Structure 1
Amino acid sequence: MQTNTLNSKSAAQPDFNNLVNAFAHKSDNELRLAYWLFKVVNIPALMKFSTTAARWSLNFGLPVKSLLKGTIYRHFCGGETVKEALHVVDKLHDFQVSTVLDYAAEAEVTEEGFEYVKNQILNNISLAKKNPGIGYISVKMTGLGNPDIFEKVTLGRKLSEAEDFSMERTFYRLHEICKRASEAGISLYIDAEESWIQKPIDDMAEKMMRMYNQQRTVVFNTLQMYRTDRLAYLKDLIHRMEDRPGLLGIKLVRGAYWEKERERAAQNGQSSPVFDTKEGTDKSFDDAILLCLRHLPKVHLCIATHNQKSTELLVNEINNSNIRFHHKVLHFSQLYGMSDNLTFALAKAGFSASKYLPYGEVKKAMPYLMRRAEENTAIAGQMSRELNLLEAEMKRRNL
């Protein structure tokens, strides 16, 4: 790779084993809560029972809100309102960690609901303009448009007049959000969805990048690298944008629906769209990092991962290749409540690091949080690493 020296901002080698840095933002009680939660999450059978019981209780209106809000919700969420979330934003900012603010409601089903989510995002952009701790806004397209229509578009089926009009409204909701973000100097991460509804989301994201990524990266599209076709898509996207003016915003994740994707493909008699093994996903993710680095500064990259090896890969490439403008074009992100040893070490060493911070009413946000918790039980070694770090810090504090 060629050496790059534009806009110098040096960084040190992050220490991912430094417990003081990793947990300086947590009180003793917060540390105890985190340890208890990860003990539960680390036992798959107990985790499945707990999430099933919580869903059942919420659906039947049982008085469990305060229990949930004081445990799993408190650890992984910023609050029920954006005002509550801002307290977390400020706390993270004190440690040079930026926030990706996310209104965490599961998919809406009505035009009124889509408009409500759009207005929440527009309000968050206005807040971000005034708050230096909010660097990014997360946009979930199933909050702005109908996933059933997205699926028909992906399958190439003809839309009815009403469905066509609904898609137009979805596009203009996203357009309005991107325009406001561009004016406010904020960046957007458009989330990825299941493979059978992803194509129109990719298409809309590309259109927004062509419109708004002229002077800086306003719009990032998210690629789930457990999909066997995503590396080829990324190569094609870079090739198509190579000779056009403007920048490409790419956020890489491993993927959130692995079991769901495989089960659906099996039921439909189709080949699986995702890798069968973790090793396949890991290689795809790391290959995508290296591909994006070869096309700096045309491509601006965020790696949203809890995987330390992939994080170290990007850190080493930045340092070994002397990429001095990395803080402007390369970003790291982890979920709030997860992998603090990565996030806070990166920030302290001078890298651009952020936490993905969801907020929303407990009943609306809990399905999202439970899905995240269930996903993480399937990540080999992740929960054990979290537990080991938390246990070591508790011993260090004599708790």
Structure 2
Amino acid sequence: MGVTTIQPTTLFDPEDLKIAFSNKTDEELKLAHFLFRMMGKPTLVKLGGIATVWALKLGLPIKGLVKNTIYRHFCGGETAQQAQLAIRRMAKAKVYTVLDYAAEAKEDEDGFDYVLDEIMRNIRLAKVTGEIPYISVKLTGIGSRDIFQKLQEGELLTAEETAAFQRTENRLDLICKAAFEANITVYIDAEESWLQQAMDELAEKMMLRYNEHRAVVFNTLQMYRTDRIAYLTDLLKRSEGYDVVLGIKIVRGAYIEKEQERAAEYGYPSPVFSIKADTDHSFDKAIDICLQNLHRVELCAATHNEASTRYLVNQINRRGVADHRKCIYFSQLYGMSDNLTYNLASAGFNASKYLPYGDVATTLPYMIRRAEENTSIAGQMGRELSLLEAEMKRRGL
């Protein structure tokens, strides 16, 4: 890619509160402030999550409370159609949607087929409305965790398991083919390290099949893993000579405690960095590698980290990447880091929100996971709270 002198017309300023919270009513702002204040207390989050799950299982009448608080803030609705209200609100601010069916799937063939049908409906909706450019796919939603783990551990599959894994691949192929035909993008989520190898292989197979002219399929790399820079470098080397645009989505990672605990339990070296600075360095190094290969890579930086976001913006400007909207994407979770997403969009960058949806009861594990993850991110809750309080003060609330 040639270097030009074209720059974005507007500077990215994550401190611009008016733009950051332009989509929030006063009531929504107060709710966000309340939720982030609660999420700043990890013990309360953990106990509250356990209590809420049990209350719903016992049929206690708390669904309305959940729906009007944490669910309302972090989810788009119970159906993709309900989520369209949030999709359209964001679109007015030039923020795109990554639609994410967040319900926990039943781990059997019927459950996997149900998730497949839901995703295929979303692709048809995206094609008809033109409002959903990206969808998210979790491979354990369409295939067996146990089989992914057996493959990683080098165990031979039974004939039945081999057939089941082929059905998983077929489901993913149906999704990617439909996305290709609908001119939308598929982000394949990363999962625990002991499942990931076969998932990487499936993602690579789909990229080779559908990414000839653009990145229809993105694989996700969790940069808190100590081996991901090596994996990225190797993937680039292995794909040389192929007519393929690699779709690379980088995240920091969501299972750090689980990864460390399992490594200690089974006596193998932890696959994740123990020092946050090492993860930060790994994330930014992945940015550099992708930017050096933009002639055959599209990059999605999915992060709430302001420093890495600024770093990528600065690199785009310094390198003069004129057509960055076609090959570089930013993304954050719905309900978080609005100061990044909305100010990126306002400054002319390709910014999106991961928008989960699904029935309240079945998406609850997803929401609790999000809350627990966020309480463990150093400084994240304090940053969110300070921005919300500054905006409330600006509005005179």
1:71-150 aligned at under 5 Å gives the runs 71-150=69-148
Q: Distance in 2 between matches of 1:379 and 1:31?
A: 21
In the alignment, is the contact (CA less than 8 A) between 1:4 and 1:325 conserved in 2? no
Q: Equivalent of 1:36, from 1, 14, 34?
A: 34
Q: Distance in 1 between matches of 2:10 and 2:44?
A: 41
Q: What is the TM-score when the length of structure 1 is the normalising length?
A: 0.98
Q: Equivalent of 1:191, from 189, 192, 195?
A: 189
Q: Equivalent of 1:210, from 184, 208, 223?
A: 208
In the alignment, is the contact (CA less than 8 A) between 2:4 and 2:319 conserved in 1? no
Q: Secondary structure at the match of 2:133?
A: strand
The number of residues matched between the two structures is: 397
Unaligned regions of 5+ residues in structure 1, if any? none
Shift of residue 190, structure 1, vs aligned partner: 0.2
Q: Equivalent of 1:359, from 336, 357, 362?
A: 357
**1:170-225 deviation per Cα after TM superposition (whole angstroms, max 9, x unaligned):** 00000001000000000000000000111111000000000000011100000000
Task: Give the letter aligned to residue 4 of structure 1.
Answer: V
Q: Secondary structure at the match of 1:252?
A: strand
In the alignment, is the contact (CA less than 8 A) between 1:108 and 1:146 conserved in 2? no
Q: Secondary structure at the match of 2:123?
A: helix
Shift of residue 10, structure 1, vs aligned partner: 3.4
Unaligned regions of 5+ residues in structure 2, if any? none
In the alignment, is the contact (CA less than 8 A) between 2:7 and 2:320 conserved in 1? no
Q: Distance in 1 between matches of 2:81 and 2:69?
A: 20
Relative to structure 2, which stretch is displaced further, 12-21 or 378-387? 12-21
Match of 1:179 in 2: 177
Shift of residue 376, structure 1, vs aligned partner: 0.7
Q: Distance in 1 between matches of 2:392 and 2:50?
A: 30
Q: Equivalent of 2:386, from 385, 388, 395?
A: 388
1:261-300 aligned at under 5 Å gives the runs 261-300=259-298
Q: Distance in 2 between matches of 1:179 and 1:9?
A: 35
Task: Give the letter aligned to residue 394 of structure 2.
Answer: R
**1:333-390 deviation per Cα after TM superposition (whole angstroms, max 9, x unaligned):** 0000000000000000000000000000011101001001101100000000000000
Match of 1:304 in 2: 302
Runs of 4+ off more than 3 Å:
8-11
Q: Distance in 1 between matches of 2:107 and 2:348?
A: 42
Task: Give the letter aligned to residue 396 of structure 1.
Answer: R
Match of 2:3 in 1: 4
In the alignment, is the contact (CA less than 8 A) between 2:87 and 2:97 conserved in 1? yes
Match of 1:19 in 2: 17
Relative to structure 2, which stretch is displaced further, 227-236 or 40-49? 40-49
Q: Secondary structure at the match of 2:155?
A: coil
Q: Equivalent of 2:331, from 330, 333, 341?
A: 333
Shift of residue 12, structure 1, vs aligned partner: 2.3
Q: Distance in 2 between matches of 1:133 and 1:383?
A: 31
**1:223-255 deviation per Cα after TM superposition (whole angstroms, max 9, x unaligned):** 000010111000000111122112000000000
RMSD of the TM alignment (CA)? 1.2
1:238-277 aligned at under 5 Å gives the runs 238-277=236-275
In the alignment, is the contact (CA less than 8 A) between 2:97 and 2:354 conserved in 1? yes
Q: What is the TM-score when the length of structure 2 is the normalising length?
A: 0.98
In the alignment, is the contact (CA less than 8 A) between 2:7 and 2:317 conserved in 1? no
CA gap of 1:186–1:9, structure 2 versus 1, over 3 A, is farther
Q: Secondary structure at the match of 1:134?
A: coil
Task: Give the letter aligned to residue 181 of structure 2.
Answer: E
Q: Equivalent of 2:312, from 306, 311, 314?
A: 314
Q: Distance in 1 between matches of 2:353 and 2:319?
A: 26
**1:38-66 deviation per Cα after TM superposition (whole angstroms, max 9, x unaligned):** 00001112212211211121222211110
Q: Percent of aligned positions with the same letter in both sequences?
A: 56
Q: Distance in 2 between matches of 1:176 and 1:166?
A: 15
Match of 1:65 in 2: 63
1:339-354 aligned at under 5 Å gives the runs 339-354=337-352
Q: Secondary structure at the match of 1:206?
A: helix
In the alignment, is the contact (CA less than 8 A) between 1:137 and 1:187 conserved in 2? yes
Matched, 1:224 2:222: yes
Shift of residue 83, structure 1, vs aligned partner: 1.0
Shift of residue 9, structure 1, vs aligned partner: 7.7
In the alignment, is the contact (CA less than 8 A) between 2:105 and 2:111 conserved in 1? no
